[in-house]
């Protein structure tokens, strides 16, 4: 999943669910939702910042602090891990174990019929490498999110 999708999906949920959304809240959520991919600059993508060993204590501290922006940042961080769980694997206790899990959901359709497939994927984080992403669909999603932000927060 690319950064635009990671930013857009929780931001749209925030705009839909919050009684009083703010630009600062949306910014904190967006930064939290995208920064875990800084892991791509370490030895392995989806490592430390994709581990629940770091994300859950950060959420607990943010919750206990009572700071709304810290809480939105940590919710964005957890949303990143949740979304990556469906597009590969996340290593829940990295660095104690490099093993990761995810869910692969497939849909097929055609003359032979239709079907949905679901399987648990177990793997290790990808070693660091260059990425080339097709982001056309996510740019459209990002533009819809930006329009929703402007309409809801003007
Ligand atoms: Zn990620």
Q: What is the pLDDT of residues 43-87, one digit of tens each?
A: 888 899 999 999 999 999 999 999 999 999 999 999 999 999 999
Determine the distance separating the centroid of ligand 1 and the alpha carbon of 21, expressed in angstroms.
25
Determine the distance separating the centroid of ligand 1 and the alpha carbon of 95, expressed in angstroms.
16
Determine the distance separating the centroid of ligand 1 and the alpha carbon of 90, expressed in angstroms.
8
In this prediction, residue 48 carries a pLDDT of 93
The whole-chain average pLDDT of the chain stands at 92
Q: How many domains does the chain have?
A: 1
Q: How far is CA 67 from CA 22, 38, 71, 74, 97, in A?
A: 14, 24, 6, 11, 32
Determine the distance separating the centroid of ligand 1 and the alpha carbon of 10, expressed in angstroms.
14
- Give the residue numbers spanning the domain of 124: 3-153
Give the model's confidence band at 99: pLDDT under 50 very low, under 70 low, under 90 confident, else very high: very high
pTM for this model (two decimals): 0.88
Share of the chain above pLDDT 90, in %: 79
Determine the distance separating the centroid of ligand 1 and the alpha carbon of 153, expressed in angstroms.
28
CB 11 within 8 A of CB 145: yes
């Amino acid at each position: 999943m690319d950064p635009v999708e990671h930013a857009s999906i929780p931001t749209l949920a925030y705009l839909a669910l919050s009684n009083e959304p703010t630009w600062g809240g949306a910014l904190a959520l967006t930064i939290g939702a995208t920064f875990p991919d800084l892991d791509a600059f370490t030895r392995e993508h989806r490592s430390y910042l994709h581990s629940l060993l770091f994300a859950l204590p950060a959420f607990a501290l943010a919750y206990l602090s009572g700071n709304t922006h810290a809480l939105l940042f940590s919710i964005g961080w957890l949303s990143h891990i949740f979304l990556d769980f469906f597009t590969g694997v996340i290593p829940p206790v990295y660095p104690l174990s490099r093993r990761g899990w995810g869910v692969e959901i497939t849909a097929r359709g055609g003359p032979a019929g239709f079907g949905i497939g679901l399987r648990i994927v177990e793997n290790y984080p990808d070693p660091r490498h260059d990425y080339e992403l097709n982001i056309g669909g996510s740019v459209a999603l990002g533009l819809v999110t930006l329009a929703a932000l402007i309409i809801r927060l003007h």
